[in-house]
Amino acid sequence: MPDFVKTRRDGAVFEVELDRPKANAIDLVTSREMGEVFRSFRDDAEARVALVTTAGDKFFCAGWDLKAAADGDPVDGDYGVGGFGGLQELRGLNKPVIAAVNGMAVGGGFELALSCDIIYCSEGSRFALPEINAGTLADAATIKLPKRIPHHVAMEMLFTGRWMEADEALHHGLVNAVLPADQLMDHARGIARQLADGPPLVFAAIKEVVREAEDKAFQDVMNRITKRQLETVDIL
């Protein structure tokens, strides 16, 4: 079985690389693999910071693999630990997680970046939530995006499915920095090493407090999103 999720340790930094041609899209097998990898990071006492990236420079991640779905991957199948892409497992981590976005982050791929604490991207990166064009909601991004950027900008993206370029993403605070493609990983690794030398118990406390402040509302809203998605599918 192909290994689409690769990991490596650099001291206390745990690197995760999604490498699934052609667009780093996520099918059921890859989703389960990602969840297990994030759980492995959670349980590794020596790993203090995760750095999430993907192979190539065209697509960071295209989200759900629509071809796999057309070929028989059930939409309501077993995504594995943490649900789709292991994102709930990722969101529940008490360690810092950095995303290095190198290309287009689309749909669930955009959600993958939004599930990280810090986002750096290359100059050619772009972000979009095109689910509206299929007549459905953008899952957790419907909740997460308005918390990252101004409400009216988030609503425009959710309503239209339009692209956001890297410079606009920086302007609105979606990403922490925009780097030339050949400097992205060096920069992200440098910050990851800096955090790895920081106080892990304080980092955990910060993430716990932030998460507890939003968890109940988050789950309630996710339940409503799922309900509305089903209603929308019925209407279509």
Residues that are catalytic: 111, 131
Tell me how far CA of residue 120 lies from CA of 35, 44, 167, in angstroms: 22, 24, 12
Burial class of residue 212 (count of CB atoms within 10 Å of its CB; 0-12, 13-18, 19+): exposed
Tokens at 23, concatenated: 């667009």
For 77: left if phi > 0, alpha if psi spans -120 to 50, otherwise beta; the answer is beta
CA distance linking residue 191 with residue 185, whole number of Å? 10
> C-alpha angle with apex 234: 73 to 63, nearest 5 degrees?
35
